[in-house]
Structure 1
Amino acid sequence: MLNKAQLHIHAKLEAQLHDTGKVRALILKGRQQGASTYIAARFYWKLQFRKGKKAVIITHEQNATDNLFAMTKRYHDNVPEQLRPSTGTANARELYFDKLDSGYKVATAGTREVGRSSTAQYFHGSEAAFWPHAASHFAGIGQAVPNADGTEIILESTANGVGNEFHQRWKRAEGGHGEYIPIFCPWFWQPEYRTPAPAHFARKLEELDLAELYGLDNDQLYWRKLKIEDDFSGDVNLFQQEYPNNAAEAFVAENRDSLIPAANIMAARRAENVNMAGPLVVGVDPARFGDDRTAIVWRKGRVLTKVKTYEKKSTMQVAGIVAQLIEQDKPARVFIDTVGLGAGVYDRLGYQFYETMASSICLLSMGNLINLLSTPWKMILAATSTREIM
């Protein structure tokens, strides 16, 4: 019987298969939500009735590899005999259906070359955020699985901090770049993740917010409270990594000094009747070539009216784009992130528009940005009315 997380994953994969003819998916989830169990069952079912198909499973450590293969073997041993494929090879690393010329191979992500020598139609990467040579493995997967209809690559994992290969690929998938779709499963979908709350249990402010945002009841909140206290020694960030409410929150544990907490982001997304009054303000986060993107946002009051991104643009090109929007949209202020590449964009704009545009461009340090965000709107206008370098 599929649980809620498994049903969600199944629906997303089947929709992508229907729309594109193949599956390319990243699954971000909490602990023990059944993603690996579902994928093992999905691939066994596909191999069970198809000739000449291969599935490869790679996990982050040997114990996990053994457990996943044992799960697949359990399906095979317990399927009705009339539906069980004829077995040729069955050992600790391979399950081969001789009459179909189909089967499984499993491996552990210990060396850079794992997965490169295989050719498969179905690939399952488990706990991909913990692979020691993830970039090499991901590159190898793309060569091992042909870009053909009916093929499937499914990479699932709990989060493991920011900046690693899985996190970077997740960000690209969320942004709609490439073939992979992002699938997220929050912890509170699991009916077993609850503990009867005692009569004296009283919700703290944070728990009140969670109840409002996600519809959590006291039994779920009490389970969460005990888990944080007992398993994570009071570290909420570690709990969020293992049992996230949302995708942004999952990557917080290694990035605890985030300017804007994930809970605030979710609250803003759910806000209604947001005030759009106020002058137009533009924010620029410059990038240059590579996988990162330049992002530009237009804001009025508390509403982002437009977001645009650009790939593989030089700092001079970004400066030109910003100069053009200043001419066309006449924003009251343009804020530029100058940590790194943004300084060049700022310098070019300051030089080009010094006489007429200097008061519209503000170079911000992180500390100053925090101060501005916590300052009333009229004070922001006053604080940035002159050109400052901080």
Structure 2
Amino acid sequence: MKLLLPTNLGVAVAFASLFLASPARAAAPALGREDLAPVHKLANTMKGQLECNPVEPGVAPPAANVEAAAEYAHIAGMFAFAAQHYPADEKGDRVSQINALIDDASLAYERAYDCAPSLSNAFYLLRAIELLGSRVVHLVQVEKLDESAPRVQELVARRDRLRDKLPSPPQCPVCIKCETCPKPPPPPSGYRGLYTGRLALSLGLGGGQARLGGERAGVIGHLTLRTAFGARFVLGKQERHLLTAGLHYALQAGLSYASDSLPAARPPRPSAIHQAGPYLEYAFAPHPHFSVHGHLSLSISAGVVWFEAAGGLRNLGFSSLTPGGGGAICTLRGVLCARGHGYGSVLQKNSLTGYDLTLAVDLFRVTDALLARRDR
């Protein structure tokens, strides 16, 4: 195309700035060839001087490319300005000349995107698509050209090519629909899914003393085997509080018996105290590897103690309701605990009071630790 090209480039810059800054372009004053020629000349001159190295999508472009992208966008605005205000008295094929300006503008916008390709710079392509689409509508509705006309199809082809070049917006994995998407892992099942951290099975070994009241009062020294099974409930957001409820059983195997009239001696026959009943325990864990426990229990205690008296064997049988309680200090995430337990009968006849100290291991905490190590 041919335009008269005055040398006043300051006028060109002023007109280009007016186009880029003014949102009400339809109200712009009519311009002649002498007004638009500097804009067209400046745009062509700048286009020939700009360069930028190709950049792969997703790679940060150098600073020079970012600056070049902005300059190409300014050039595209100049071409679009010249196309919008193309003088009506210009000689030649006016439709083809305006099409050429729109084509130059779309190429400059595309070049701006190529200098710094990214999702945030996709507006360069969108602006070019908008220019081409508006021109196609004008050719069909105003110029009355057929949609299959070569002049229309050229612009449509360029517009569609730029649409295909638009980057895809990021999608979260949940939003993507596909036939070959990997299936999410199934929820844990078995012990790992249903019982991890929710059960307690304590097994402790130690010793203590029990005192029998009544007519045949005496003291039993015993070996203690104490076990407890219950459900665990972790409380609080920081999981520092723990509540456990279940059943306990203790076997107090007699090692010695002594009374006011009999010296301490080993029972001539096996002697034992059996205790069983419900318990409730609360624990506070200021640190994952350390916790302090307190518990209450209600036990039914029964047993038989054998001893020698007056040259023969005697035995003392007893049963009683013995509420009790105690505490524990645990470490290794609750695996190992030092426990103390005391109890006392609520009946006066053949009353039973005592205590025991045990070192206990929680078998379910051991299982949980082994599974956690395997998952690492």
TM-score (normalised: structure 2) = 0.17
**Which of structures 1 and 2 has the larger relative contact order (alpha carbons within 8 angstroms, sep 6+)?**
1
Q: Which has the higher strand share?
A: 2
More helix by proportion, 1 or 2?
1
Structure-1-length-normalised TM-score: 0.17
